[in-house]
Structures are given as structure tokens and as C-alpha cells.
Structure 1
Amino acid sequence: MAERNLLLSGGEKLATASEIKRGSGPKKRPYQIADTRAMIGDSIATVEAAIRALPEGSKPRGEGVFLLTLHPAFLARSYYPVNLLRAAGLRDVGSRESTVIPRKVTTPKDEGKQQATATLYVAGNAADVNTLSALLQSERTSALVQQELTEIESISWIAGEDKFKGQLPADLDEHSFEVALHAGSKEEDIVAAFASFAKKLNARAELGRRIQVGGLTFVPVRASAATMRRLTEFSFLRIARPMPTIRTAIPNVVRQSHPEIICELPRDGAMHTSDRVAIFDGGLGTDDLKPWANEIVYDATKSTHGQLLMHGSEVTSTFLFGRPTNKDVRLGRPYLPVDHYRVLSPASGHDPDLFDVLLRIKAALDTGDYKFANLSLGPHMPIDDGEVHAWTATLDQLCSRHGIFVTVAVGNDGEAEDANRIQPPGDMVNALAVGAADSAGAKWKRAKYSCVGPGRSPRYVKPDGVAFGGSEAEPFTVFNPLLGSVVGVQGTSYAAPLALRTAAGIDASTTLDLSSIAIKALMIHHAERGKGHKRDEIGWGRFRESTVEILECAPGTVTVIFQATLAKGEYRRCPIPFPDAALPGVVEIKATFCLHADTDPEHAINYTRSGMGVVFRPRFGLDESETTEFFGMASQYRKTERQQRDGAHKWETALHRTREFREPNSLVGPVFDVEYHAREAGRSIKKIQSAPDVHFALVVTIKAEGVPNIYNLVRQKYKVLVPVELRADIDLDAN
């Protein structure tokens, strides 16, 4: 067998500390203080009156919450009106993205156009709002505070009906709702006040099932429609909506028999047993998978349903064995063993079970025992640009805290009119959101049922990618342990664990200590983009099923992986490995950056606390000051008003692009300079020590026309770069 050119590790040993020089001119300001006085003076008075008029029990601490929208020119985190709020005795408790047509613009081409900006949720009592009014009108107000006042586009009160999303029931019966409150871990008094206000209105807030994450507390509520209308008057209530059902609670999966595919279970155990994978689904219900999978059942999920067990066992079988075919009677050997958590019951999807399911998942992942997990379930609803769902917020923080690689099915409502967008928690910034492709062959497209993007910014590119999930013409074949045979199915529920199997295979096949971020970068880096596919439908492309195609460099290419940690205020220079040889033709560079980010769920517009500023210096060997855009808005965003968000791409947790360089000497010692951005509660962090270290991964592939031996040339020049070492019992050709 010919020698393999395997992925080169150790790129971080080439990296050095660096300093990024930057500069900017004075900020153009659309408004003067006189303009702001004329624009928002009456609005402040309206807000003050509304707070005073709130019903008894609806304003804990005597405070109301109103909206403060910034002019789009001041969207960046550094322009939050911290000094103004402090001077008035107010505080911001969250933010969301909004679009406005500003009265004045700083650039003529933006005249009359919708622009994205930040709207802050601001809390304070009537006296504080009165102080804000006095600061606005006084000539003695400090210049700094006056400057921040001129950055405001509008101030407005939030009507109760504007806090409810979805359709209120038309009957008089009690229904289940989910409510998000502006209440962090040290604000239990606000949660208690809400429960008291709900009780006063004959509603029931289930505080025993509440979920607190970041500056939000999510609470299930039982109430009639009329009561819910009144409950939205609670000043710290951010959003309320009908309780969604859970996808796959009773899966509607049509199964086709495939008697022509004869298969046998593997004889051996999992290849790598030091790690286990958590799969959360409907259960196994059989001991057939016992050598590779352990089932955890809760008291509340002992009662089950055949369809739930079918779905759960098939999802687990997909991860363990992959897709059975006629090529081999023996099913594929599992890479890692599984802990299957039976989190669903026939009642799942009904309050309070939607919250109970998430609490079960949270408890399992918060142990820190798992590097890999799969979720082929979630709330049955499209994501909301302005709000982060409890599932997304909770799981994002768990992934960041414990470094977990999670695959999430994006949902099967791709044909639903006006509701075909990806579903929570598919909008997670720290997960791999997986849609479905309709074929495993060379010609493929998004399966028509697979939900589409875009995601919320950051992580606008959603789904992250697609994997084969089956179609009517080409069903997804899976070994069903309950039937003891192979069946054909369709769904993103199967695409997600198939992608996870590849990810786990990368980790299990090598002795290299790969972080979950590095594995995610490799998955995205090698996704097959194809031609004619829309980004909103397939994300970065179709994920590879074969670990060989990820661990092995294609002919005429070299791929290097960097794994590094950055502290706030630290910069890293990552040289792109180039041979000491003339490059006579077109040079192609493909690069992927990934990181895990802490999050602020109350700040939907500034959701991630960590970001990457990447400066590309193509001719660093000749001119250190020469820079060009490698990753940028165009590589992440469509040409819409979202592209106006100042520096939004710097807060993405995944950057990916392929670029060609055709001119001679256009590349001389190229480097990436990586800068770590940090923010908290939507604002820039000024004290370096208050920002946590961030772990990132960079994967770079170089292909040079006319240099077929570039792999060996790079190895000769960079002795610290070594091929990943395969485990002794791994045969890539068999996987």
C-alpha cells in the first residue's frame, strides 16, 4: 500500500506572539444634542408615565423595562451608553437586533435604507427616567454623557401585546406557555415577584422547573389566554409564547423494508473506550446494542411508545454502525460507546415536559463526562432573530464550559411555508447544526424537508452543513435493532448522528489530542461545497462520511492543523506553511477558524463573548504592513441589510473560505494574525484579566499548481510539523 500523506499536526509550534497595528479616524456623528432633545424628549416622558401606571405587583423594585435603540453608526460594542445609564441610575438588562431607517445618516448611500442596529432593554424606576430627562435637557450635563445621548435613535415603552410571540388561543381554557424574564442568578426577587403576580391573576408559574441561564430565567406557565394578556404587563417579562411541542416526541417516520440488505452486528467492541458519547432520544428498548450502548431511563420515561423506541434505537444505530449497504455484510465497527438517555415519553412536548427534557439533558452534560453528544430533538418552532430560546442558551453554555462537540438536527419542516427556518437548538454557536442532503452520491442537494437558514448573527451560516439524511428516491438505510433488519427512513434526525460518527471517528482514529473545536474545524474545512447550492440551504457544504477523506491530504495538497489558546489582549501570528520552491501557477489557500465562545443569552445581538479578528498578510516576507481581506462579511453574510452590521463577522465562532492567488509573487511568506476579541453583557471588556482564555483551531490547506509534491516540500522545511499518528488497531480503509 502506498504511503499516506496524513494531516500534519503541530501548526501551533510555528505560531508566535505578534502585535497588530491599527488605527481609525474620528467617528462621524449624525446628531447634535439639540437634535436628540427634539427627537426623544417626549418619548422619555411617555416611558416615565408608563412606569408609574403599571399595575400593583407588576414592577419589582419599582422598576420598569423600556427600549433604547442606538443609531446604526454606534452599533459596535464600544458605543454602549455606559456613562449615560450610570448617571441616570439606569441599567441595561439585555439587547436585541432591530432594523431602523435613521433620521440622519453618516454616509449618503445609506439615506432612506433599513439598517441593522442594537436595541437595549433598560431597567429603572420612574425617578431614574426623570433623571434621564433632566440630563438630556441640562446644559451642565458632562460632554461625555451628552455625546452618548447623541448616539440614541429612539426610546420607547414596550406594550404588553408586543411581548407575546405567536397566536393566543381563542378559547377560555388554560394552556401552557413559556416565559423569559430579565432575571439573572442574583435576581430571585424578580422571579418571586413574577410568581406572585401570576398567582394574583390565577395563573401558575412553575418555578420548580425554571431554567436560569445568563441574565434570563425561563419559566413554564399555565394560564388562560385572557390571563396571559394581563401577565405580559409584568415589567421584567421579556417574551412569552405558546409552549412548543418537542420534535420527535412521537416521530412520524415512514419506514421501508430493505430485505435485500443482509447485515450482521460487529464482533468487536468500540475502537476507543476511554470516551463515551451521549445520545438524547426516545430510548433503545432492547439489549441488542448492549455491547456498545448503555440505556439510562428516568422514572418519568419508563412509560414509552414503540415509535419513540424505534427512533431512539435507529439514531443510536446510525452513530454506532453508520449506513449498512450491500458491500459488506458486517456492520461498521463503532468508534466510541454510547450512553443513550431516554429523555422522551409519550407525553413529551406538553408542559411541563419540554422543560423537563432540557433539564435531563443539562444534568447529563453538566457532569463534564462527555466530549461528544447528539440531539435529534428540540422545540418544534423556527428560531427567532430577536430572542434566544432556553434550549439554545442552556446548551451553548454547557458546550463552552465542558468543551463538548454536539451535533444537532435542524428539523424537518423545510417545506412548511413561513416556518421552514432551522429550529432550536440548531442556532447554537457552539454546536454543529446538521441539515439533510437528499443523496449520498456525487449529485446531491438539500433534502426538501430539511429546514433552512440563515441563523442569527453571530453564526449566520446555518445549518453548519448537511449530511445524507435520505429522500423518497434514495432512503437512508439504517439497522433497526427492534426489527432486527435494515429499514429505509428520511430525516435530519439521521443526518446528525451520521455526522457525529465521522467526528468521533476522527478522534478515535488518531493518537493526537484533538479538541472538540479542532474536530469541528476539520468537519467544516472538508465539507463538500459543490456548485449551485445556496448557503442558506446547505451551510458550508455536505460533511464527509469517511474519516479517510479528512485525515488524509488529497493529492497535490498539504493540510496543517493549529490548536492554540489566547488570552485577552494577546495576538498570535500563524504562518501559512509554504515550501522553499518557486510556485509557478495558481495557489489555492483554504482556511477554517473555529472557537468555543461563552455567551450572554440576554444580549441576542451580542450573543457571543468571544470573537476572532483575523488579519491576513499575504506578503509578510516582503512587506509586513500589506494586508488584505481573507475572511470578511462576504464570506459569511448575504448582501442584505445585515451586512451593515459593523464588524459582525468578528464575533462569528466559525470562519471558512477558499481563495485563489494567480499573480506571481502575490504570496511571500503569508501569515494570519489572530486577535482575540472579548465582551461581556454586550460591552467591550476593558480589564484583560476579566476575560477568560479562548481556545481556537485553525486548519489550512495549500494547493499549488505545478507543485505535486508540495506535501513533502512542506515537511522538509518545517520539521515541527508531523503527520497525525494512527492508533495501532485502526485501518482507515475499513472505515
Structure 2
Amino acid sequence: MADRNLLLGKGEALTTAREIKRNSGPKKFPYTLDEVRDSISSSLEHVQQSLSNLPKGAKPRGEGVFELTLHPAFLGRSYFPKSILKKSGLRDVGSKETSIVPRHVTDARDAGKVQATATLFIAGNESAVAALRGILNATTHPKQIEKELKEIESIRWIDNENKIRGELPDDNEQHSFEVALHAGADEEDVVASFAEFVRNHSGKADLKRKIKVGGLTFIPVYATSAAMIEIASHSFLRVARPMPELRIAHPTMARTTMSTYATSLPSQGAYMPERYAAIFDGGLGTSDLSPWATEYYYEDTNETNGQLLMHGNEVTSTFLFGRLNSEDDNLKRPYMNVHHYRVLSPVSGKDPDLFDVLLKIKDALESGEYKFANLSLGPRMPINDEEVHAWTATLDQLCSRYGILATVAVGNDGDVEGANRIQPPGDMVNALAIGAADLSSPKWKRADYSCIGPGRSPGYVKPDGVAFGGSDTEPFKVYNPLLGNTVGVQGTSYAAPLTLRTAAGVACSTSYEMTAIALKALLVHHAEYKSKISRDEIGWGRFQEDAFAMLECENGVATIIFQGQLEKGQYLRCPIPFPDIPITGKARITATFCIQAHTDPEHAINYTRSGMGVVFRPKVGAGIESSKDFFGRNSQYKMTERQFRDDAHKWETCLHRIRNFDGEDSLVGPVFDIEYHARESSRGVSPSSAPDVNYALIVSVQADDIPDIYNLIRQKYTILQPVDISIETTITT
């Protein structure tokens, strides 16, 4: 090990916390108060009349829900009509992103352009709506009320048809639907009202399978299509869609037996047998993997079929033993053991079983037992920008709460026109969404079947990356215990556990403890990106398969890991280690920031409650505090016909970029200043009330004229220590 430069840990010991000082200038308003009054008076009257016309059963507490859209200039977290809502007796119950062309703009360059803004879901009774009309028509206003009124773009009542997503079946049969209600933990009366309303339309709301996440309640509903349109008039129904099927594997991808490849299982146990990864799939049904895998199944998954077991075995085998490169290759020793949850049965994905599967996963992860999990399954449907799916909302909160690194297959419909966008829960911000590369060689590209991004904003860079998943040209070769043979397969189902195996390899290869978010950052940091391929296709790039490659520094490069918590009301100054030698030539900094964010699923546009503002100061060592762009929108967002809001990138959970510098004094004691932003219920919150969040920063530095930069940094920063390698002899590079 003496001749190898290893990842330098304890970077967080170099950081210092500083108080945040804020300055903000006056804001321009696009409309006068009279213009706002003229624009929304009639629509507000329509809201009041529509609410009055609703049957009592469709408006629990006598309340209805309508939309209030803000002008795009007031999308930042500090803009929210809090005073208006409080004075009128209204309340917000959620938000979504909307693209509009506003009537007037504050910047002439935006005239006539489509811009992203926030639409708030507002709840209240008739008297509260009447109070809002009174506020609007008053002759004088307090300063804050007038300011908030001038931030409003439009108000709209939500018609039934606007709550339906997807095509409804064209028949009179009962079908299953998934419904999201504006109903949080203390709003069972809203749920009960909805269930009764469904019964009155000859349907059934399956409350036994309801799932509450944040301010939403997800419920399976049985009804005819005609009845579902009527049921959508319930004012607290946010969205309804036909129940999607469950995906586990590409139905047209053949499994080929590779009889000349290795079939002998390793003779040794896992390196870390006391650690377990949770794999949720179709089951094992055999004892072949019992030295490393324990299977759990349920009463309703006791019966199964060969296709499900094949998939479950291959996914588990991929995580345990990896894949085979050639006929001379051997199955590798597992890093850790597996708890395999057989959550699928032959009828899974039909009727409300999509909810059954999620509830099983939720129960297992809520045990707090797992740091690693893989899901090569999920609803077969493209994600929606306006709505967060039950799978995404539930699993994002679990990963944040329990510090879980989850790998999620993004789906195999990448070659299906109109349905090729990533599938839930691949839009999670606290997981790694994995697509598939077609080849294991340097000439790789996205596999045609691998679903593409972008994700929602925040969470725009999706998939997070790709891993080899097989193709017709080069199948993914994995041992299948049921067949007693190595088989050639393909799919994102295999790319996901292959990536989780790499992460587990890093965690098991060193006693240096890394959080789930640090492992995610390390994978992104070392991903191989091809600039000629769209980020929508491959995210941050192709993930490494070799765990040790991420623990070793290349010649002439020093890589340092920072991990810890971002605290309330402070920014963290992270020095970028450089030796005390003037940099006169070319230098490069590669940096990756990740946080494990708290989420608000009812607020799709402001889904993450946690964000980070990162300021790069290249010359702090010379006493110069001026900043320079490092992470900007262009490192993540494509500027297309859709105009992204200025602060969108501050709410992303992953930032990554490589920056080159050239010339004397271009870098003198550079630092990153990280500000932790917080918001709740779609508005800014006091920093003192915001929960701390886990963060990780991976930074690599190199300079052409300092070839021995690694040792010089170690000499200057003695607190930085190389991570130790505990199973080095088993890892090949």
C-alpha cells in the first residue's frame, strides 16, 4: 500500500462556520394593484360560485381547493402570500410548477417567453374566499398585503378533467385508479369524506392501503371511468390516474444461456457478513444463495412463478457476485450479505397491488436496519413534472430519515416514443437513479432501452448516471442459480444492483466510515462523462464498477472527502487544499456536493426543503473575498424553450463540475462557502427552525507544475489522513 495514494479523509476538520449576512435590493413589480384587480376579480368570483355549487359531500369542512399562480418574478423562497392567506382565513395545501407567458415582465428580455413559475393550491370555505375578494377590492392596504397582491399572476378554479392524468378506459367496467388527496397526518376527516363520496358514486376507496406522506394521502380507488370523472369533483382530490402496471423486466428481452462461462459459486462468505443490503424483487425460491442471502416473503407472495424468480435471482446474484467479463472470469466474493424481500406475486401490478408492494418496501426500510437497498421495479409510467408519485414521495423520505443509499432502475422503455422518460421512483432526489450503458468498453453509449431524463426540478439531472446493463451486442453476463448457469440478459434492472455493489465495495473496503450521501457523491465524482452524449441520456456519466478505483488517487491528483452536517443559520467555509507553492501553470478542480434533503411531496415545484448555495472564492489566501462562478445553471440545466428560474439550482441535491484554471495567481487559497437554504410548505422558513442536513463534498485538485501535489498536501494539512484499505488483496484494478 505504500506506493498508492489513497483518498484523503477528515476534510471536514478543515471547515469553519460563519454567520450569514444578507442584503437584498428593491424588487420590481410587473403589475399595479389595479391591473391585478382587473385580472383576477372575475376568476375569484367564479371560484366562490363554483365552491357554492359543489355538493356538501365534495367539500369537507365546507372547503374547496383552487389554484393561485404567482408571477415568475416572485418564485424565490421569500415570496409567498402569507399575509393574504392569514387575513382571509385561507391556507395553502400544496404547489406545482407551471409554465406561462406572463402578461407583463420585470425584465424586457423575458417578454413573450415561456417562464417557469409556482402555482399554489389554496383551500378555504366560501367566507374565506369572500374575504379575499374583500381584500382585493379594498381602497387601502397595509404595505405587505399590497406587495403580495401585486405578486399574483392568476387565480383559477380546478375543473374535474384537469385533475385526471392519463387516458381513462373507454368502457363501463370498474377499474383501479390511484388518487392523491390534499390530506396530511391530521386530516382523516378529509379522507373519510372522500371515501364516502366515492361510495356515493358506486366506487370503493381502499383505505386499508392508503399511504400518507407529508401533506398528501395516496389511495387506491375502484370505479368506472365515468364515475371517476364525477369523483374528481371532490375538492381535495389533487390528481387521479389509471393504476399503472408494475415493471420488473423488459418483456421482449431474451435470456440466453452462456454455458461456457463460470458457474461455480465462491467458497467464502461475504467480507462483511454482519452487513446486509435489502433487495426488493421477485424472490429466490432456492437455497443456492443461502450462504449469503436470506429470503423473506409474505402470505400474498407465497405463490410465484419462474419469471419472477429468475429476475429476483439475477438481481441478487448481480449484487453479490457482480458480472462476468469473459469465459476466464470467476464469480467474485460478495462484500456483504442480502435480505431479499419477495414483494412480487404473479398478480402484482394489477388492481391495488402497486400499493401493496410499496407498503411492503416501506415496512422493511422503516426498521432502520439497512444502509443499502436496491429497487429494480416500480410503476411503469413516465414521471410527471406537476406531481410526485407515491413511490417517490414515500421512499425519498425514508432514505433521508434512515440514511439509506438506494439504487433505483429508471425503466426499460427508453425506445418507446412518448413514454421514454424515467419512471418512478427514478425521480427520487435521495437515491441513485440508474440507467443502462450498452457496452462495458470505452465505446459505450446509452442502451436504447434505458429511459431518459430530465427529471423534475429539483432533481433535474436524471438518471444520476448509467452502468453497464447489457445489449444485443454485449449481453450482461450474470449467474442464475435456478438454471445453474451463467445467462446473458439486459436491462436497467441489472445496472442498478451492479452500481450498489460498487458502493458496498467501497464501504466494506475501508474502516473509514462514509455516510450514504458520501458514497453517492463519490460515485458521481468518479463517473465517466461523455460530452457528446446528452446529459438527459446518461446523467453525470457511467459509474465506476471497481470500488478501489474510487479509493485511490491518480498520479498527480489529490482527492479529499468532506462529510458532516450543515447547520441552521450558518454557512460553512471549506478550504480547497493546495500546497504552499505558487501556481503558475494549468490547474484543475473537480468538485461534487451532495446533500440528503428533507422533502415536501405536496409541493412538487419546491419538493426539496433543503438546498445549498455554493460560492467559490478563488483568492481568499490573498485576502480577496470576491467570488467566481463554479456551479451554475449551465452545469445542470439545458437552456431550451423553457426558461428555468434563477434560483432553481440552489435546491438541487447534487452538484458536480470540473473547472480548469490557467495563469499565475489564478488560485490562491481557494475556498467553497456553502450556505444551507431551508424552506417548508413551499415558502422560506426561519433558519433557526430548519433541520440540519447531511452533506458530502468530494474535491480533487491537480496542477501541471506540482506533480507531487498529493504528498505536499499531506505535509501541509496533517489532519487529512488516507483512508485505510482492509480488503485490498481482493480488489482488482
TM over 0.5: yes
* Structure 2 CA distance for aligned equivalents of residues 539 and 148 of structure 1: 38
Measured after TM superposition, the shift of residue 263 of structure 1 is: 3.4
* Structure 1 CA distance for aligned equivalents of residues 145 and 5 of structure 2: 61
User: Is structure 2 residue 646 aligned with structure 1 residue 646?
Assistant: yes
1:570-617 per-residue CA deviation (whole Å, 9 max, x = no partner) reads 211100000112323211100000011110000000000111111110
Letter in 2 for 1:670: P
Measured after TM superposition, the shift of residue 636 of structure 1 is: 1.3
**Higher alpha-carbon deviation: 661-670 or 335-344:** 661-670
1:89–1:19 distance in 2 versus 1, CA, 3 Å: same
User: Is structure 2 residue 316 aligned with structure 1 residue 316?
Assistant: yes
Instruction: Tell me what 1:574 maps to.
Output: 574
Measured after TM superposition, the shift of residue 662 of structure 1 is: 1.1
Would the aligned equivalents of 1:211 and 1:219 in 2 still touch at CA under 8 Å?
A: yes
Would the aligned equivalents of 1:18 and 1:673 in 2 still touch at CA under 8 Å?
A: no
The aligned runs of 1:493-642 (5 Å cut-off) are 493-640=493-640, 642=642
Measured after TM superposition, the shift of residue 3 of structure 1 is: 1.2
**Higher alpha-carbon deviation: 322-331 or 527-536:** 322-331
1:413-471 per-residue CA deviation (whole Å, 9 max, x = no partner) reads 00111110000000000000000000010111000000000000001000000000001
Would the aligned equivalents of 1:637 and 1:643 in 2 still touch at CA under 8 Å?
A: no
Letter in 1 for 2:725: L
Measured after TM superposition, the shift of residue 733 of structure 1 is: 3.6
* Structure 1 CA distance for aligned equivalents of residues 285 and 731 of structure 2: 33
User: Is structure 2 residue 82 aligned with structure 1 residue 118?
Assistant: no
Measured after TM superposition, the shift of residue 632 of structure 1 is: 1.2
Instruction: Tell me what 2:421 maps to.
Output: 421
Instruction: Tell me what 2:664 maps to.
Output: 664
Instruction: Tell me what 1:4 maps to.
Output: 4
* Structure 1 CA distance for aligned equivalents of residues 185 and 327 of structure 2: 55
The aligned runs of 1:80-91 (5 Å cut-off) are 80-91=80-91
1:356-397 per-residue CA deviation (whole Å, 9 max, x = no partner) reads 000000000001000000000000000000000000000000
Secondary structure of the 2:604 match is coil
Measured after TM superposition, the shift of residue 264 of structure 1 is: 1.4
Instruction: Tell me what 1:336 maps to.
Output: 336
**Higher alpha-carbon deviation: 632-641 or 365-374:** 632-641
Instruction: Tell me what 2:461 maps to.
Output: 461
Would the aligned equivalents of 1:619 and 1:668 in 2 still touch at CA under 8 Å?
A: yes
* Structure 1 CA distance for aligned equivalents of residues 24 and 305 of structure 2: 62
1:176-215 per-residue CA deviation (whole Å, 9 max, x = no partner) reads 1000000000000000000000001101000000000000
* Structure 1 CA distance for aligned equivalents of residues 490 and 672 of structure 2: 42
Measured after TM superposition, the shift of residue 140 of structure 1 is: 3.1
Instruction: Tell me what 1:107 maps to.
Output: 107
* Structure 2 CA distance for aligned equivalents of residues 504 and 554 of structure 1: 22
1:643–1:589 distance in 2 versus 1, CA, 3 Å: farther
**Higher alpha-carbon deviation: 270-279 or 417-426:** 270-279
Secondary structure of the 1:228 match is helix
Measured after TM superposition, the shift of residue 19 of structure 1 is: 3.7
Which of 722, 728, 731 is 2:729 aligned to? 731
Would the aligned equivalents of 1:261 and 1:325 in 2 still touch at CA under 8 Å?
A: no
Would the aligned equivalents of 2:320 and 2:336 in 1 still touch at CA under 8 Å?
A: yes
* Structure 2 CA distance for aligned equivalents of residues 439 and 250 of structure 1: 18
* Structure 2 CA distance for aligned equivalents of residues 315 and 589 of structure 1: 37
Measured after TM superposition, the shift of residue 252 of structure 1 is: 4.8
Would the aligned equivalents of 1:15 and 1:572 in 2 still touch at CA under 8 Å?
A: yes
Measured after TM superposition, the shift of residue 734 of structure 1 is: 3.7
1:640-679 per-residue CA deviation (whole Å, 9 max, x = no partner) reads 3555313111110000000001122111000001111111
1:247-300 per-residue CA deviation (whole Å, 9 max, x = no partner) reads 017955411121121231111111112321000000011100000000001110
Q: Percent identical across equivalent pairs?
A: 61
Instruction: Tell me what 1:706 maps to.
Output: 705
Secondary structure of the 2:212 match is strand
Measured after TM superposition, the shift of residue 62 of structure 1 is: 0.5
Instruction: Tell me what 2:301 maps to.
Output: 301
Structure 1, unmatched stretches of 5+, are none
Letter in 2 for 1:306: G
Secondary structure of the 1:572 match is strand
* Structure 2 CA distance for aligned equivalents of residues 615 and 482 of structure 1: 54
Instruction: Tell me what 1:440 maps to.
Output: 440
Would the aligned equivalents of 1:704 and 1:710 in 2 still touch at CA under 8 Å?
A: yes
Secondary structure of the 2:228 match is helix
**Higher alpha-carbon deviation: 574-583 or 336-345:** 574-583
Would the aligned equivalents of 1:184 and 1:213 in 2 still touch at CA under 8 Å?
A: yes
Letter in 2 for 1:341: Y
**Cα RMSD for the two superposed structures:** 1.3
Letter in 1 for 2:360: R
Would the aligned equivalents of 1:251 and 1:308 in 2 still touch at CA under 8 Å?
A: no
Letter in 2 for 1:726: I
Instruction: Tell me what 1:42 maps to.
Output: 42
- Using the size of structure 1 for normalisation, the TM-score is 0.98
1:398–1:642 distance in 2 versus 1, CA, 3 Å: farther
Instruction: Tell me what 1:380 maps to.
Output: 380
Instruction: Tell me what 1:717 maps to.
Output: 716
Letter in 1 for 2:716: K
Secondary structure of the 2:650 match is helix
Instruction: Tell me what 1:191 maps to.
Output: 191
* Structure 2 CA distance for aligned equivalents of residues 578 and 250 of structure 1: 49
The aligned runs of 1:58-137 (5 Å cut-off) are 58-137=58-137
1:695-727 per-residue CA deviation (whole Å, 9 max, x = no partner) reads 100000011113221111111111001100111
1:665–1:643 distance in 2 versus 1, CA, 3 Å: farther
Letter in 1 for 2:708: N
Measured after TM superposition, the shift of residue 686 of structure 1 is: 1.5
Secondary structure of the 1:561 match is strand
Measured after TM superposition, the shift of residue 408 of structure 1 is: 0.1
1:67-89 per-residue CA deviation (whole Å, 9 max, x = no partner) reads 00000000012101000111111
Measured after TM superposition, the shift of residue 21 of structure 1 is: 4.4
Instruction: Tell me what 2:168 maps to.
Output: 168
* Structure 2 CA distance for aligned equivalents of residues 53 and 675 of structure 1: 48
The aligned runs of 1:382-397 (5 Å cut-off) are 382-397=382-397
Letter in 2 for 1:100: I
Would the aligned equivalents of 2:616 and 2:673 in 1 still touch at CA under 8 Å?
A: yes
Letter in 2 for 1:377: L
Would the aligned equivalents of 2:249 and 2:311 in 1 still touch at CA under 8 Å?
A: no
Would the aligned equivalents of 1:94 and 1:603 in 2 still touch at CA under 8 Å?
A: yes
* Structure 1 CA distance for aligned equivalents of residues 642 and 10 of structure 2: 37
* Structure 2 CA distance for aligned equivalents of residues 518 and 95 of structure 1: 31
* Structure 1 CA distance for aligned equivalents of residues 714 and 505 of structure 2: 25
Secondary structure of the 1:78 match is coil
Would the aligned equivalents of 1:250 and 1:346 in 2 still touch at CA under 8 Å?
A: no
Would the aligned equivalents of 2:583 and 2:663 in 1 still touch at CA under 8 Å?
A: no
The aligned runs of 1:220-231 (5 Å cut-off) are 220-231=220-231
Measured after TM superposition, the shift of residue 22 of structure 1 is: 4.2
1:584–1:517 distance in 2 versus 1, CA, 3 Å: same
**Higher alpha-carbon deviation: 21-30 or 569-578:** 21-30
Letter in 1 for 2:538: I
Secondary structure of the 1:273 match is strand
Instruction: Tell me what 1:245 maps to.
Output: 245
The aligned runs of 1:8-19 (5 Å cut-off) are 8-19=8-19
Secondary structure of the 1:429 match is coil
1:54–1:464 distance in 2 versus 1, CA, 3 Å: same
* Structure 1 CA distance for aligned equivalents of residues 494 and 252 of structure 2: 13
* Structure 2 CA distance for aligned equivalents of residues 250 and 196 of structure 1: 39
Letter in 1 for 2:197: F
* Structure 2 CA distance for aligned equivalents of residues 648 and 127 of structure 1: 36
Measured after TM superposition, the shift of residue 237 of structure 1 is: 0.2
Letter in 1 for 2:158: I
Would the aligned equivalents of 1:12 and 1:564 in 2 still touch at CA under 8 Å?
A: yes
Secondary structure of the 1:536 match is helix
